[in-house]
Amino acid sequence: MQPKMIPALALALCGIWVAGCATRPSDSETERAVAEMIKASFKTRGQATVARLNQDDAQALCSKHAGELPKDVSDGIEKAQQATIRYPSSGKLTGDWREGERIAQSGVGKQFTDAPTRPAGGSCYNCHQLSKQELSFGTIGPSLYQFGKQRGASEAIQKYTYGKIYNSQASTACSNMPRFGHNGVLTEEQITHLVALLLDHDSPVNK
């Protein structure tokens, strides 16, 4: 019979079977099973194609090293992701914070129940606090309240902020935050509105 309370360490080292590690499925057996499941258990629906389950380099590495990311791997990811960042050719990195608030509130985008033509939102409040008035905010990411007030709105800060939203893994490998620009979720213009929401002196985020 299996014991009810399993020490975390044993869990990490050996899986959880009292019978011994030797009877555990091998890594390659597990990998094969997972590959088969991914093929057979999912189907394309609406805009969500099965091709989405093909991982890019960052996704594959982050899945493989979940829980403990070696420094050389995280450095490599950050370098590669940094290279993907595209800034607006106009040079204008800050848009309209009112539009930014609308984008931050919207959780629509890329689901098979979403119309493909409808612009995606940033789902920002799902994970972050932003304005003081909005009480329905998540805590998966840090609070962004007073983001601009704390940092100012210099060109360097605008670039940093834009880059964070475009590809969060350029600064934090395997970040939980979607790579909104790089993955084509938000447009250039939408990101500038979010930059304004975060940095503009008049934005509710900085009041």
Partner 1 sequence: MRIDRVLAGVLAATLPCLSPAQQDTQKEIERYRQMLQESNPAELYEARGEELWKTRRGPRNASLERCDLGLGPGVVKGAYVRLPRYFADTGRVQDLESRLATCMVTLQGFTPEEARRKPFSGTGAPMITTDPFSGVGQRSVMTDLVAWIASESRGMTIAPSVSHPKERLAYQAGERLFYYRAGPYDFGCVTCHGEEGKRIRLQNLPKMTNAKDAQRAFGTWPGYRVSEGELRSMQWRMWECVRQMRFPELEFASDASIALITYLAKQAEGGTFDAPAIKR
Min. distance of Cβ 111 from partner 1 in angstroms?
6
Q: Is 4 in the site for partner 1 (CB under 8 A)?
A: yes
| Bridge partners for 14 per DSSP | 16
Q: How far is CA 127 from the centre of its chain?
A: 10
Please select the residue that binds partner 1; options are 14, 31, 171, 207, rule is CB under 8 A. 31
Q: Which is nearer to partner 1, 95 or 109 (CB)?
A: 109
CA distance linking residue 108 with residue 119, whole number of Å: 8
Distances (CA, A) of 192 to 93, 96, 98, 173: 5, 7, 11, 23
Q: Residues 6 or more apart from 109 whose CB is under 8 A from it?
A: 118, 119, 120, 121, 123, 185
The stretch near partner 1 (CB under 8 A) out of 53-61, 69-77, 146-154, 198-206 is 53-61
Residues 182 and 80: beta-carbon distance below 8 Å: no
- Tell which positions 113-172 bind partner 1, by CB under 8 A: 113, 125-127, 135-140, 169
- What residue ranges bind partner 1 (CB under 8 A)? 2, 4-6, 15-17, 19, 23-25, 29-31, 33-34, 36-38, 40-45, 48-50, 52-55, 58-59, 62-63, 66-67, 109-113, 125-127, 135-140, 169, 174, 176, 178-179, 183-185
